[in-house]
Chains A and B, each alone.
Chain A
Amino acid sequence: MAKHKGRGFACINYPIGMNLGGDPSQALVHSTPDGKFMVSLSSIDLGQGMKSVTRQIAAETLGVPVSDVFVDTADSDTGPHCMGSFASRGTHRVGNAVIRAATEARAQLLEAAADELEVNAADLDVDGRGNIHVKGAPSRSITVADTAIAAQFRQGRTVSGRGIFLIPPSEANPETGEMTPVSCFAHGAIVVDLEVDEETGEIAVLELNSAYEVGRALNPKLVEQQLVGGAWMGISHALYETTEPYYPSREHGPVDFNSYLMPGPGDLAPHNIAIIERPAEDAPFGGKGPGEMCANPVIPAVANAVYDAVGVRCDELPITPEKILRGIRANGGARPRGARH
């Protein structure tokens, strides 16, 4: 009895945002009395980092340090409408809404500063460190804090902004399926190396090598979190997870984590990731949502690697030891690569 090594490949693209549009998101940005900024949303952070990425987008757009921005979400009394956190839409839709809101707030900030400096607002720029200065004359400057104080207490002016982003709803054609599904796509490819025990049907994943194209990694560590965690989930889907192990029969459904299986911290394989960035035209600073797509290539790559290892086509998920053993038996034994032909 032997263990057989196998190697599989898969690549995918993934649509960013709700299919056929019609999923708006809004954002509000306002300055506190001393020039810090609050971003009010109703978007949900379920671990993907919505609060963090919108905070960075707002800081970049306003031209202030990220520490001067705080994102408050999600309270339906104060946060304007957002369709929700799904369909890889958060970064794209909410990010764009935040850019618009922060842009309007920034314009008001510069107008207030222009009054104080007695120049034209168009001649002003921010330095990203909390100062506003005349372009080409850095010494003629005022702090963002002093500007906000002046706007509020001397000029009677708000420093705030509203933003909405919407791809208008459209339909699929009933006869041809013609449609505008989304405006941009993320990409991924992965090579999975694994080992199949022909006696037990068990699979040990040995190594993952992947490349993911994410538009722009707005925060590289948040992207890494998604890619690492998502690939783990892909392996979990491929090999373990189902609520109906004998689908379409409903019997033997798991009711706890002793029967609903996932890889544990002792089952990990090294994952070497390359991040590729091809900014999308209508995405905030080019960034596409990496959260959903990262699990997708892993699943077929595992299936293809199992075929490579023992010659069993894995056409039903999850790929359990039982299915592998049945497949090996149906083939009259394991047929590792090279032995197939």
Chain B
Amino acid sequence: MSKSPVSFELNGSETSLFVEGGQNLLDALRRGVGDLTPKFGCNQGTCGACTVLIDGQPFLSCLVLAVNAEGRSIETAAGLSDGPSLHPLQQAFIDGFAAQCGYCTPGMLLAAKTLLDRNPNPAREEIAEAISGNLCRCTGYAPIIDAILSAAEIVRRSNRP
């Protein structure tokens, strides 16, 4: 099977690999690069477990052809923390008991990050909307919404001069 080279920025680092024609970005990240934080939940674009950010916008990496990532900037949950210091969302998910099995968590965090990057003071409804493409089977969502609210507050406070 013929392969094509593709280069993109992954969590700030230049990354190049060969991908197959029909290979999706989820598979390329997991198998090709070894970034295991995007998860396989459905491969149908319906669960959100494979969410990654492409140029700052959330995408379902199972629906993105890997070749189309050429030249883009991709963020995954592996890039959320700054070295050992956690992103406020990660800390809020810990403190708020906002994960149980943890399988949807990486995608959920990225969906939430997109929202907070755009809107540091979201209402509950806006949070619900922002994570509505990310399914969680364990938590009943409420703890996740609460955690995102409290992360937003931390972000706002740290942005204050």
Contacts and interface: CB of A to CB of B under 8 A. Distances in A.
A contacts B directly (C-beta below 8 A): yes
B101 A232 contact: no
A262 B138 contact: no
A48 B97 CA distance: 12
B139 interface: yes
A256 interface: yes
Interface residues of B, number: 25
Contacts of A47: 100-103, 138
For chain A, which range describes its interface: under 10, 10 to 19, 20 to 34, or 35 or more residues? Answer: 20 to 34
Nearest to B41: A257
Contacts of B69: none
A46 B137 CA distance: 11
Contact of A257 (B44, B125, B129, B143): B44
Contacts of A229: 100, 138-140
A258 B46 contact: yes
B141 interface: yes
Contact of B44 (A221, A230, A256, A266): A256
Contact of A265 (B100, B102, B137, B141): B141
B127 A265 contact: yes
Interface string A135-178: 00000000000000000000000000000000000000000000
A107 interface: no
A271 B141 CA distance: 12
B141 A268 contact: yes
B42 A257 contact: yes
Interface in B30-46: 42, 44, 46
A250 B128 CA distance: 34
B17 interface: no
A338 interface: no
Contacts of A266: 125, 128-129, 132
Contacts of B128: 264-266, 268
Given A256-B46, A258-B46, A228 B140 contact: yes
A293 to B, nearest CB: 15
A231 B47 contact: no
Nearest to B100: A47
Contacts of A225: 97, 100, 138-139, 143
Which of A222, A229, A230, A258 has the most chain B CB atoms inside 10 A of its CB? A229
Contacts of B42: 256-257
A84 interface: no
Given A225-B100, A265-B128, A266-B132, A257 B140 contact: no
Contacts of A228: 139-140, 142-143
A264 B132 contact: yes
Contacts of B132: 264-266
Contacts of A321: none
Contacts of A265: 127-128, 131-132, 141, 144-145
Interface in A226-277: 228-233, 256-258, 262, 264-266, 268, 271
8 contacts: A222-B97, A225-B138, A233-B140, A256-B42, A256-B44, A264-B132, A265-B144, A268-B140
Interface of B: 42, 44, 46-47, 97, 100-103, 125, 127-129, 131-132, 135, 137-145
Given A222-B97, A225-B139, 6 more contacts: A48-B100, A233-B137, A256-B46, A265-B127, A266-B125, A268-B140
The 3 closest A-B pairs by CB, nearest first: A47-B101, A232-B140, A47-B100
